[in-house]
Amino acid sequence: MRNLFFIFYFFLFFLNGFSQVENNLKIDIGNNPIALYLNSVFGVDTIIIKSDTSIFVNTSSYNFCYLQDDKKNHYLFLTNDSLVSVSYLDGFFETNGAFSSFITFLNEYYSIYKPKINDLIYKGYKSDEFEIYLYNIINNEVFDFYSNYNSHNQFSTLCQDYFMSLLKYEYLHSISKYLMKREQVVIDLLPSYLEVNYNLLNKDLYFKNLNDSANYSVDIFLQYIFNTTVLFTIDETQYFSDNSNSFLNFTNDFFSFVKRNIPDKLWVSFLTQYIDVFSINFNNKIIHVLTNFLYESPIDKEHLDNILKSLDNLLDLDRDSIDNDVQTNIYDFYLEDIKGDSVSLNQFDGKILYIDIWASWCGPCKKQFPYANDLKSKFSKRQLKKIKFIYISIDNDYDRWKSSVKKIDVDGYHFISPANQYNSVSDYFNVSGIPRYIIIGKDGQMVQNNAKRPSDSTLLGDLLQLIQ
């Protein structure tokens, strides 16, 4: 792994040592409700702000938070003893008070570079190529952006250390996310140990970072630690999906690794992430493993009860009667239509769905569109009432997406689910490369998680068989 510029300047910082003021966040919104997201080691808490508000956010629990309207996030930097004031008017956020210049810089960084970093993961680069491109963005482009920013010399040491820490974990998180998605087996959502380039991971740094409690509430830190733990478990056990018990064995090995190596404070996050990422694979035996781990853990009663409730809900789905490659709820991800309205695939309930996940920058995706038009022309009007062709872009640039939709002129339903959006379609279906095609039956269940391309002449027969 390369030595990034910011590692040499990285210092741990703790926010809970400051004196407390009565309120450290003032939000003026007029008549436009927005959401405040507070991240912690126990998960994300959401507060809906419906009127002008002044609140105290304890940064010993939440040192990563953001406001969100229906289009974008506005990231904040808070301490316990300094007041930050945010105004939201006509779709724009304006920050005043403490750290205002740094918060403005932070949001510019997120708007420019977060999409570029996320896009790399889905462009199909080989692992060494990916690492080089990622390194160049963070170590060169971001460093220049930071150095040339007009007020960066005025940022406090606390702000500078925070940003360097953020970049460090942005890099490590991106590496771990790429490796998790690069050679994923569709059925169990895990790569084989033979396919992971472990040269991109630094085990000593990973174990050192496990104790970086100052970042326990930062989402990319928690995801990096979780992903890397999964990858090191795969390496340690030489995981390969070769039978129906493979994932059960992996689950036992993973939580054995957690018990040996992971600080207690991270266990709630690990369990929550494990359920979120892998619940499609769960059956009664796996839930039994998780339940046993819970009862042996030092997790407090409130969080224990919440996790047990989540597992009970999974049991209610009777997943033993469902094949591992079937996902019964396909609708729980972020989706917008061409008008900018938040929508759901629930509107197509009872229809067969052929879903095309693509992006404007994806050449192989665009080469398939003429075949898609030709495929659709072969269905009768009666058949087209039973099947819907859905096109979901993972672009982060809305204007580029809309322009591409006009140019490609593909008949169907067009939506966008940006890759940098929380709970995006790419995260939901664990998409490691595009184009990606998914077929959903009229009963809402997964038929194929990695379906044939429109250019495949046998696809028509498969779809006609579903319609009958």
Instruction: Say which DSSP state 257 is in.
Output: H
297 vs 294: CA distance, rounded Å: 5
Whether 48 contacts 29, CB under 8 Å: no
| pLDDT given for residue 184 in this prediction | 52
| pLDDT given for residue 331 in this prediction | 63
Q: Which residue has the tokens 């859905």?
A: 390
In percent, the amount of the chain with pLDDT more than 70 equals 88
pTM for the model: 0.68
461 vs 427: CA distance, rounded Å: 30
| pLDDT given for residue 146 in this prediction | 94
For the ranges 27-36, 221-230, 317-326, 414-423, which has the lowest average pLDDT? 317-326
259 vs 147: CA distance, rounded Å: 42
Residue 366: which of 356, 375, 376, 374 has the closest Cα?
356
pLDDT tens digits along 25-53: 999 987 778 889 888 888 778 888 888 99
pLDDT band at 280, cuts 50/70/90?
Answer: confident
CB atoms within 10 A of CB 407: 11
Q: Which two tokens stand for residue 405?
A: 């939709």
Dihedrals phi, psi of 320, to nearest 5 degrees? -65, -25
CB atoms within 10 A of CB 319: 20
Burial 218-235 (b: 16+ CB within 10 A, else e): bbbbbbbbbbbbbbbbbe
Task: Show Cβ contacts of residue 160 under 8 Å, excluding neighbours closer than 6 positions.
Answer: 9, 152
Distances (CA, A) of 15 to 58, 74, 99, 328: 9, 20, 14, 43
Average pLDDT taken over every residue of the chain: 84
Q: Can you give the residue ranges of every domain in the chain?
A: 16-98, 336-467
310 vs 287: CA distance, rounded Å: 10
| pLDDT given for residue 318 in this prediction | 42
One CATH from 3.40.30.10, 3.90.209.20, 3.40.640.10, 3.30.470.20 for 336-467: 3.40.30.10
Distance, C-alpha 77 to centroid of its chain: 21
pLDDT tens digits along 282-316: 888 888 888 888 888 888 888 888 888 878 776 65
Does residue 1 carry a pLDDT above 70?
no
